[in-house]
């Protein structure tokens, strides 16, 4: 029953993704380019692709002293592990706590909790110990510039910055969704933590359908704003940035996370060599037919614009199913 429904809709399962896409198209030796966020940053900077500025790095516990000095000078920033997975271990600092004095000793984290410098250094020490690393290996704590919420997305996000996930297969974008943080997700843009995933039509840049946990939603639970049918600003550039960032990795099957920043426009947040499959539920569309279409239409030597156009054409040929809502 449901088995056949999924087949017909072309939904990609975990086993099929692993064996036919990540195992086949993503060379294991290239994984560090996406798993190590410092390396990703380096590659993007070299290729002139916008990515948040690196402010500080602590590789060993001793360097935390130095980190303390740098943090003292900052008002807003993001502290995160270089090898984190699924958004774990990321602390977003919005601003200094504004107290009776001029500049407070504590910072306000997205979500409202306040933190002191000791809290931050303890967290950084946890990161260095490998608490949040994919394989538990010793990690690097990095501090980078905090991105600013684009004004057009202000009403559909809560306590955090949304990002656009674009699946890029062999350099061609095939599916996209925007992930909208909610109160439940604690301002994070991860679907399994309770963020909204809204499928974005590659051709029009409009959201077509949205899910929260496993059910469909039409309005943001915190802002009550409609999350279906709104237009993502600068969506052409979002797709191009995703494709160009993916090109630097030489990986065949990548999920690129692009944030729309108020000041810089589309910025690469991170890249993922094992992108999740929930994007299919958000779009109400299966990946399989689009991936098959890429296999057929792929030609060497296409430039970025041509590939984005090809991706859009493929999406139009394989639209979401049963979108009566």
Partner 1 sequence: MTRPAAVTGGVLLGLGLAVFLWKAVGLGMPVLPTDPLGLWQVEVEINARGSGGRGSVRAALPSSDLSQTIFAERSVSDGLVFSIRSERGQRTGIWSGALKRTHQLLYAFRVQLSQSTVPLPRGAGRTVPPKLRAEYGGATAEFPTTATEIVERLNWLGLSPPEQAAARLAAVYSFVTDEVATEPNAGDDVLLTLAQREGSALGKARLLVTMLRAAGFPARLVSGLQLREGLAPQPKVWVEAWLDGAWVPMSPTDAFFATRRPDFLLLRQGGDALIEATGVEAELHRFHALRERLRPEELATLMIPTNPLLAELSLYRLPVPTQGALRVLLVLPLGVLVTALYRNVIGIQTFGTFLPVLLALALRGTTLMRGLAMIAFVLALGVVGRLALERLRLLLVPRLSILLCVVVLTVTGLALTGRGLVERDLYAGVLFPMVILTGLIERFSISLAEEGLREALMKSLNSILIAVTVYPLFTSELLQHVMFTYPELVISVMGALVWIGGYTGYRISDLRRFRTFAGASGGAR
Q: Which residues bind partner 1 (CB under 8 A)?
A: 1-9, 11, 13-16, 19-20, 61, 88-89, 118, 122, 125-126, 129-132, 136, 211, 214-216, 277-278, 280-281, 284, 286, 321-322
CB 322 → partner 1: shortest distance, Å?
5
CB 206 → partner 1: shortest distance, Å?
20
- Interatomic CA distance for residues 49 and 82, integer angstroms: 19
- Interatomic CA distance for residues 134 and 88, integer angstroms: 10
Rounded to 10 deg, the angle between the 37-46 and 235-249 helix axes is: 110
Q: Looking at beta carbons only, is 258 or 278 nearer to partner 1?
A: 278
CB 125 → partner 1: shortest distance, Å?
6
Listing DSSP states for 81-144 in one string gives ETTB-TTTT-EEEEEE---SSSS-SSEEETTS-EE-HHHHHHHHHHHHTTSSBTTS----EEEE
Q: Looking at beta carbons only, is 128 or 238 nearer to partner 1?
A: 128
CB 64 → partner 1: shortest distance, Å?
11
Q: Looking at beta carbons only, is 317 or 323 nearer to partner 1?
A: 323
CB 191 → partner 1: shortest distance, Å?
11
Q: Looking at beta carbons only, is 98 or 216 nearer to partner 1?
A: 216
Question: How many CB atoms sit inside 10 A of residue 244's CB?
Answer: 20
- Interatomic CA distance for residues 2 and 15, integer angstroms: 17
CB 211 → partner 1: shortest distance, Å?
7
Which segments of 202-250 does DSSP mark as H helices, in order? Answer: 235-249
Q: Looking at beta carbons only, is 104 or 130 nearer to partner 1?
A: 130
Q: Looking at beta carbons only, is 122 or 305 nearer to partner 1?
A: 122
8 Å CB contact between 198 and 207? yes
């Amino acid at each position: 029953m449901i088995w056949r429904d999924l087949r017909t809709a072309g939904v990609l399962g975990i086993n099929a993704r692993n064996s036919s896409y990540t195992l086949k198209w993503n060379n294991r030796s290239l994984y560090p380019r996406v798993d190590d966020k410092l390396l990703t940053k380096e590659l993007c900077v070299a290729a002139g692709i916008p990515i948040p500025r690196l402010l500080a790095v602590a590789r060993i516990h001793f360097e935390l002293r130095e980190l303390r000095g740098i943090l003292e000078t900052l008002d807003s920033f993001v502290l995160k592990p270089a090898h984190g997975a699924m958004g774990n271990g990321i602390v977003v600092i919005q601003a200094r706590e504004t107290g009776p004095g001029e500049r407070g000793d504590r910072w306000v984290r997205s979500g409202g909790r306040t933190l002191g410098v000791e809290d931050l250094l303890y967290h950084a020490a946890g990161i260095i110990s490998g608490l949040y690393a994919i394989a538990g290996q010793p990690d690097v704590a990095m501090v980078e510039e905090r991105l600013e919420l684009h004004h057009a997305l202000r009403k559909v996000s809560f306590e955090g910055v949304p990002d656009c996930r674009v699946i890029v297969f062999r350099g061609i974008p095939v599916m996209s969704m925007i992930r909208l943080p909610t109160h439940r997700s604690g301002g994070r843009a991860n679907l399994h933590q309770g963020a909204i995933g809204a499928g974005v039509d590659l051709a029009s840049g409009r959201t077509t359908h949205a899910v929260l946990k496993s059910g469909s939603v039409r309005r943001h639970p915190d802002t009550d704003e409609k999350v279906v049918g709104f237009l993502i600003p600068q969506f052409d550039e979002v797709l191009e940035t995703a494709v160009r960032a993916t090109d630097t990795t030489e990986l065949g099957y990548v999920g690129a996370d692009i944030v729309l920043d108020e000041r810089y426009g589309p910025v690469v947040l991170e890249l993922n060599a094992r992108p999740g499959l929930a994007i299919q539920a958000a779009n109400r569309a299966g990946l399989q037919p689009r991936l098959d279409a890429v296999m057929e239409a792929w030609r060497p030597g296409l430039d970025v614009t041509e590939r984005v156009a090809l991706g859009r054409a493929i999406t139009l040929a394989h639209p979401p199913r049963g979108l009566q809502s």
